[in-house]
Chains A and B, each alone.
Chain A
Amino acid sequence: MSKSIVRSIKNVTNGYTSAQVKSRNATSNDPWGPSGGEMDEIAQLTFDDATLFEIMDIIDKRLNDKGKNWRHVMKALVLLDYCLHVGSENVVRWAKDNLYIIKTLREFQYIDEEGRDQGVNIRTKAKELTLLLHDDERIRTERANRNFMRDKMGRPGDDM
């Protein structure tokens, strides 16, 4: 059975909400993605408190996944990074409150069956995000710039 079918069965049996299904799909083990459009849709859902918690719950689970699921961890960092920039301020607050989750990933290790170090990108991304979260001024400017660009250029995935 294909992985995406298994995932959609899990989505139903575990009673995930639609925001959670979107977040799970964006952070899946598929070797591609997440796309800008997918991330943008999720980032917009963080402006609603109810969906914010649902999304952060999935990101949290994915960040704490085991080495074999390193793609979950990597994509959760990518999605979190995106939401920190264009999502609600509450994402920034969540990330600061739970900084230790991100910080401790700076030493993430996983060597796959073929001896490839799949942890290196996660370590780099976790270091970047840790630095960003320590720098309020940088978060402010980067968020302001992203919102400015978005007003000018439209959202990713939009038909211009």
Chain B
Amino acid sequence: SLAHSGRGFDLTRADADLAVSIKKATSMEETAPKRKHVRSCIVYTWDHRSSAAFWASLKIQPVLADEVQTFKALIMVHRVLQEGHPSALREAQGQISWIETCARGTHGEGSKGYGPLIREYVDFLLSKLRFHKNHPEFNGTFEYEEYVSLKTIDDPNEGYETISDLMNLQDQINSFQRLIFSHFRHGSSNECRISSLVALVHESYGIYKFVTSMLRAMHATTNSDEALEPLRIRYEAQHHRLVKFYDECANLRYLTSLISIPKLPLDPPDLFKDDDDEAAPSL
């Protein structure tokens, strides 16, 4: 087959390179994990259709000894779960106890103030993994796939549950981002903290687009506006919180130099209207 035959990589060399990438991405410097090293880890999981070597290599790095390194490791893990080969999401289910260990080593604020951020990140990643275990049809960044919303229409009850679960995850992203903003330090570039927002912007927007299209599909097919009212109220509240989150992100010059921040309309879109033109642009 054509797949991958164009990518002639040397296996032993690739494993050595992976270890170097992980080490560099989780260095002690209080900076963002460098994208090129994180990208190498992501690409590795696709080249080998597995994240086993990524985890094996990460676990022998001394990242738990230092709070900045731990935080950077969690950012890197999050990006690999999001953008890595689908097997990375499945295989991470077996790494939950290691992820929990990251939180166990922290006490109080920590000398650089990463303690609460690490604990919240661990909580969030565990919720994310639980979600993906229950809903294997979603990919790591919740990129819009038509078949998922079509499935919802066939089974409104399951659709209702899925939307609630997505909204729970969205709430957790929201409280995590607020915690990150509240931990910015004066006189610091806050680059390391801000870099953790990149994954949260991608993920919250993916969830938002999914929920919007699923709720529209539910409204168009079920004719039970009353039953859907609790979801509608929650959707509107989440919309307003997202607008505020993206506004605050748009003010961080370091962040806007890395990614484009989604621009949502001030008011939530009309869920009774089946209007795909209103679909938000992709990032």
Contacts and interface: CB of A to CB of B under 8 A. Distances in A.
Interface of A: 53, 56-57, 60, 64, 66-67, 90, 93-94, 97-98, 100-101, 103-109, 117, 127, 131
A109 B2 contact: no
B85 to A, nearest CB: 8
Contacts, number: 51
Nearest to A111: B257
Given A100-B83, A101-B43, A57 B8 contact: yes
A94 B2 contact: yes
A93 B1 CA distance: 10
B36 A109 contact: yes
Interface string B35-55: 110010011001000000000
A13 B41 CA distance: 31
What interface size band does chain B fall in? 20 to 34
Interface string B245-266: 0000000000001110000000
6 nearest CB pairs, A to B: A97-B3, A56-B6, A100-B46, A104-B39, A109-B35, A93-B2
16 contacts: A67-B36, A94-B6, A97-B3, A97-B6, A98-B3, A98-B4, A100-B42, A100-B83, A104-B83, A105-B39, A106-B283, A107-B258, A108-B35, A109-B36, A117-B257, A127-B283
B167 to A, nearest CB: 26
A100 B34 CA distance: 18
Contacts of B42: 100, 104
Contacts of B157: none
B6 A53 contact: yes
B46 to A, nearest CB: 5
